Structure 1
Amino acid sequence: MGDTTTVRVEGRLLRLSNLDKVLYRGAGFTKAEVIDYYSRVAPVLLPHLAGRPATLRRYPDGVDGPSFYEKNVPRHAPEWVRTVRIETPGSARGNEYADFVVVEDLATLVWVANLAALELHVPQWTVGPRGGRHSPDLLVFDLDPGLPATIVECCRVAELLRAELENDGVPVFAKTSGSKGMQLYAAVEVSSPERTSVYAKELAQRLAREFPELVVSTMAKAARPGKVLIDWSQNNPSKTTIAPYSLRARATPTASTPVSWDEVEACERPEDLSFVAEEVVVRVTHGGDLFTGLHDEPARLPA
């Protein structure tokens, strides 16, 4: 278990440890397989991490053990790992800032995978080459089903949201959360950092009024059984969302997987839109990145 292996990744020397450690006990999925998965999806994953300060969710003893969110870069990080200092007002630990990792090359991705950072969470905004923070470039809706609702109900809500967004001239892309729900993304240009939150909240509340049997827009647990929460709050600049292609800490190594609208419309069972690492690699190999084009023509949100 304590064995280490030194590998060269894009000219960087990396020491990998505990490669045979099982991180997904239910599937016998090891750290070596986690690193292999991330290496194989790197061409489609890295564009969605580039320029975005990453919050790592680490599981050193696997998904059945304790986990922790890591914003500050570990002290033993190689000097070539890009970091960016971001103010963190209201931090639970009282820190004024954190030095986040920016994962934008294969060597850094392999390095964080070796930390057992199974989940990669990023904000809806990027930083510039010198760390300057840009306005949000993504609008996101997180669809969270309240039991007994499942991703099937999320798909029906996603179709409603898509119709509203496209009516406003906003093209939208869909992905599974890799857990119970799904997320919708749209590339946008905004005049103020708050604009995406305001727009998302208004749209979520409108659909909750129009489809009260299916949609809720408030966090109250009591309101959610059998319905889908449209979580508009993910657009708060201080919040992050699971990155496309990131693994999730479930019983099996599922991943947050971009899906086509044909797949969304055809979804009738939760299994229809649940993908584990090996399936995601096959999808990418044969179909490329279904989020290609997301940033091609950012939409102007209506005033």
Structure 2
Amino acid sequence: MSSKSVERHVGERTISLSHLDKPYFAEAGVTKGDVVDYYERIAELMLPHVARRPLVMQRFPEGIDAAGFYQKNTPAHVPDWIRRVAIDTSDGGTTTYSVVDDAAGLVYLANQGALVFHTLLCDADQPARPVEVIFDLDPSSDDLDPVRSAARELRDVLNALDLAPRVKTSGSRGLHVIVDVLDDDADFELTRTFARRVAESIERRGPYTLEHRKARRRGRLFLDVLRNTSSSHAVAPYSLRPLPAAPIAIPLDWNEALDASFHPQRITIDNVFRRLAQKADPWADRPAPTHTITEALAALDDAAP
């Protein structure tokens, strides 16, 4: 395997890339170079969803067939043109996250073995204020009917609250339903309370559960609202996932998400640009919520039996 380094100009930066022929997704024939190229090419679409957001990276320096690890703290060797933000932790310490605002940052981190990019649910400049609420629909089996059913229920409830929900694949088996937070004074206690209240209303409508312990779910779909905390993170739109076909967490429109023929792993590094040539980014002109989370929570209270 060649270890030859090559220089690549990305915007105003020059980045030294190495081991580009290393297999990263061996089954799919995808190399490290393919991953680096992907993140450079997708940056225009991906950056609006990750810029200004603290990043958690899932790194696989030897590819997905070897052990990977999550990385929150920014290593000292990362160049200073990649922004850092220090955020206090619950134990009195701090975590120094990377914040990527350009294609060069994505390329540099991909060259460091970052395959998966996760974002905290906040802006780097206001880490105590959530910018979105996320509902993670996590199936207990390969049967995706409960995922689509729960997503439909969530869409209807959130639309009724004038929150303009959007949806993406997790890139694995489930779907993520997301709502933007308009409240200037929102905190994570507010969004966590709201998410749980919505999930509780959905739980009563079908074979769903808020039980995080798998042994107690009894085959029911997990309505995961536990990510709505200051330290939690979710996979970013257009990020790769560490599965054999190199699937991508892709934004969807609602018709696509609820179509029985669609699978969350269908869009991969091999076909994503063909898709984008035929179908515009469903989130590019998404409507904004017309109610705040505070208003929506009050509406739920008023409607409670």
TM-score, normalization: structure 2?
0.90
* 1:229 equivalent in structure 2: 222
* 1:286 equivalent in structure 2: 278
Quote the RMSD (CA, aligned, Å).
1.8
* 2:194 equivalent in structure 1: 199
Deviation at 1:192, TM superposition (A): 3.1
Count residues with an aligned counterpart: 292
Deviation at 1:294, TM superposition (A): 4.5
Correspondent of 2:245 among 246, 252, 257 = 252
Contact 2:56 2:118 in 1 (8 A): yes
User: Sequence identity of aligned pairs in percent?
Assistant: 32
Q: Say yes or no: does 1:209 pair with 2:204.
A: yes
* Further displaced range: 220-229 or 40-49: 220-229
Deviation at 1:134, TM superposition (A): 5.1
Contact 2:61 2:112 in 1 (8 A): yes
Deviation at 1:202, TM superposition (A): 1.1
Aligned residue type for 1:116: G
> Structure 2 CA distance, aligned partners of 1:233 and 1:126?
19
* Secondary structure of the structure 1 residue equivalent to 2:56: strand
In the TM superposition, 1:2-41 aligns within 5 A as: 2-41=3-42
* Secondary structure of the structure 1 residue equivalent to 2:49: helix
Deviation at 1:282, TM superposition (A): 2.1
> Structure 1 CA distance, aligned partners of 2:267 and 2:107?
21
Deviation at 1:270, TM superposition (A): 3.4
Contact 2:164 2:287 in 1 (8 A): no
Deviation at 1:295, TM superposition (A): 7.3
Deviation at 1:264, TM superposition (A): 1.9
Contact 1:121 1:240 in 2 (8 A): yes
> Structure 2 CA distance, aligned partners of 1:89 and 1:243?
24
In the TM superposition, 1:43-54 aligns within 5 A as: 43-54=44-55
Q: 1:145 to 1:276 in 2, by over 3 A?
A: same
TM-score, normalization: structure 1?
0.91
* Secondary structure of the structure 1 residue equivalent to 2:196: helix
In the TM superposition, 1:266-277 aligns within 5 A as: 266-268=259-261, 270=263, 274-277=266-269
Structure 1 unpaired stretches of 5+: none
Deviations 1:243-270 (A, max 9, x none): 0000000112101011111112222463
Deviation at 1:238, TM superposition (A): 1.2
Structure 2 unpaired stretches of 5+: 299-305
